Structure 1
């Protein structure tokens, strides 16, 4: 049909492109239908919760905003989450260094941080943050990994606004298990 290889290559790419565009449109439409927007509940007292955590309300709102919310057009918790994650790693290292003989607790702590598993039952719900969460998720239930990253963002926000000692106190109080 085509005499030269370059014409076959060009014709082949044009034939594939409409199918690719159709697939992308279909996937985009399907994702838009499946995603449910979770906005901050009207019953969530942002100012009170911010005062409880000694944060500015705008910072707390950003820490509770997932990157999927409003397609990333509003400030999200991605950057402060990274700060919080690194701070939690640092505090875990400090705790392990203070008592290197407690090998079982050290191994549990390292595994927990790596796998984003929290130490206490569920600090996200204990702190009452589920009503303040904002994001677009497949279900109305907030996945455990998203709760963990949000807690890391809260830790990062505290570290950013109040310093390392306040963040350390928050982590030891709400995330790490009490020492025996």
Structure 2
């Protein structure tokens, strides 16, 4: 499979989402009254956010929409969901290009794992916090402090989408490279060399004194709907570590384990799993996380 065929869907989505009926007009979920109101002044924290990160936008409303979660004023203010979708597509495409350029000999599974390692919610939260997103974003704090990290990750993607929409692809690519790719320590070679992802995952969880995950079969969505595939998620309690799809549960589990390694344990792989850590485990083919 060529790199062009891998990124074509993302590129098409970017073109479709970035296009607007009126040039330079950013469509929002705002009410008509909000859409025609004067630009809103930035708070000192938001102005400092722009200055600290050397960002600029054609209108402060673009930044404010990117920084606004839909829980803020219960969706009555233009919020970030569309920009988040655009940012996610841009992120996937430019990170995929980076990985392909640097590691052109990766298998398809290792390629997906490397991209997932750079674009995981955990990494996006870390990047967002390093930028100060949590200090500038607008959201309903009454939904609970535990939701903050997830919202920071979403707002970070929306910020990328705002840059892509307002400044173009080159500016978004530069931002992704300098703020996300270069500071993120992903050992792509270690990810590519994982032979037994399920056994490796169990060993790394044990290092953190955690139990093995549980497999849950998930509804098929998107490209999987009309295909003969099984989609599974690997869970620790209510936390989903990874997700994978395949013709059988066994194959889907392997891909979900590789996804979990990329998203949650990429840095742990710097210290290789030793034979003693997996000696008591079943073989990769026999090991399963499906509850009896």
1:96 alignment partner in structure 2: 99
Q: Shift of residue 102 of structure 1?
A: 5.9
Q: TM-score, normalised by structure 1?
A: 0.65
Mapping 1:26-105, distance limit 5 Å: 43-44=44-45, 46-50=46-50, 52-55=54-57, 56-98=59-101, 99-101=103-105
- Is this contact kept in 1: 2:67–2:137, CA < 8 A? yes
Residue by residue, what CA displacement relative to the aligned partner does 1:77-133 show, whole Å, maximum 9, x if unpaired?
0001100000000001111221323679845433236643317x8121211221211
- RMSD of Structure 2 on Structure 1 (CA): 2.9
8 Å Cα contact 2:49/2:136 also seen in 1 = no
CA contact (8 A) 2:133 2:152 kept: no
The alpha-carbon deviation at position 167 of structure 1 amounts to 0.1
Identify unmatched segments of 5+ residues in structure 1: 1-40
Deviates more, 1:77-86 or 1:123-132: 123-132
CA distance in 2, matches of 1:58, 1:159: 15
Confirm or deny: 8 A CA contact 2:71 2:139 kept in the other structure: yes
* CA deviation after TM superposition for structure 1 residue 159, in Å: 0.2
Instruction: Write the distance in 2 (CA, Å) between the matches of 1:71 and 1:135.
Output: 9
How many pairs were matched up? 138
Which structure is higher in helix share? 1
Query: Per the alignment, in what secondary structure is the counterpart of residue 101 of structure 1?
Result: coil
**Larger Cα-atom Rg:** 1
1:1-180 matched pairs, under 5 angstroms: 43-44=44-45, 46-50=46-50, 52-55=54-57, 56-98=59-101, 99-101=103-105, 106-112=111-117, 115-118=120-123, 122-137=126-141, 138-140=143-145, 142-177=147-182
TM-score normalised by length of structure 2: 0.42
Which residue does the alignment assign to 1:34? none
Tell me how far apart the structure 2 counterparts of residues 115 and 173 of structure 1 sit (CA, whole Å): 17
Q: 1:105 and 1:150 mapped to 2: Cα distance?
A: 28
The structure, 1 or 2, with the larger RCO (C-alpha pairs under 8 Å, 6+ apart) is 1
